[in-house]
């Protein structure tokens, strides 16, 4: 998944300031366009952690306009965002989902943790417990 980002060159500091209209917590900068682009993905992932810590729904990406650049959110993070949003929409707690999956509370915390690698099959199973199916396609 891709989030649109705005890159503004700051004439005073000669750096690119990057912001996301959908994820206002994600702000960063870089002294070259390429550095700013790399930092943008890091800032986006870090901002996602705030949503998870606060148990808030993550805004989905909007359509980019011509002046914006698309920043990829890694698939491993994206699937966890989809899981969090679905849990919140359905008012399902981590404990409830852990019971449905036959997992311990600690295992469930790792599944939801953005910094923990989780098998894609586990994510698909978690989404299936919520009535969703994970579909992967190539474009």
Residue 91 has pLDDT above 80, yes or no: yes
Q: How far, in Å, CA of 29 to CA of 10, rounded?
A: 10
Question: Around Cβ 105, how many Cβ atoms within 10 Å?
Answer: 11
Express each pLDDT in 26-47 by its tens digit.
999 999 999 999 999 999 999 9
Find the Cα–Cα–Cα–Cα dihedral 137, 109, 101, 91, rounded to 10°: -90
Please provide the average confidence, as pLDDT, over all residues in the chain: 94
Express each pLDDT in 42-88 by its tens digit.
999 999 999 999 999 999 999 999 999 999 999 999 999 999 999 99
Per-residue pLDDT, 48? 95
Which residues sit opposite 27 in a β-bridge? 19
Tell me if 61 sits within 8 A of 22, measured CB to CB.
Answer: yes
H or E stretch at 52 = helix 33-53
Residue 14 has pLDDT above 80, yes or no: yes
Question: Around Cβ 79, how many Cβ atoms within 10 Å?
Answer: 20
Give pTM, 2 decimals: 0.89
Per-residue pLDDT, 83? 96
Per-residue pLDDT, 32? 94
Per cent of the chain over pLDDT 90 is 91
């Amino acid at each position: 998944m891709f989030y649109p980002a705005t890159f503004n060159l700051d004439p005073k500091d000669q750096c690119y300031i990057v912001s996301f209209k959908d994820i206002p917590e994600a702000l960063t900068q870089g002294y070259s366009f390429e550095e700013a682009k790399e930092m943008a993905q890091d800032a986006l992932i870090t901002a996602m952690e705030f949503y998870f810590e606060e148990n808030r729904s993550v805004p989905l990406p909007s359509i980019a306009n011509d002046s914006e650049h698309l920043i990829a959110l890694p698939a491993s993070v994206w699937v966890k965002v989809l899981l969090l949003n679905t849990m919140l929409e359905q008012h399902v707690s981590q404990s409830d989902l852990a019971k449905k999956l036959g997992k311990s509370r600690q295992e469930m915390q790792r599944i939801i943790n953005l910094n923990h690698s989780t098998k894609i099959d586990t994510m698909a199973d978690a989404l299936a417990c919520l009535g969703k199916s994970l579909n992967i396609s190539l474009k």
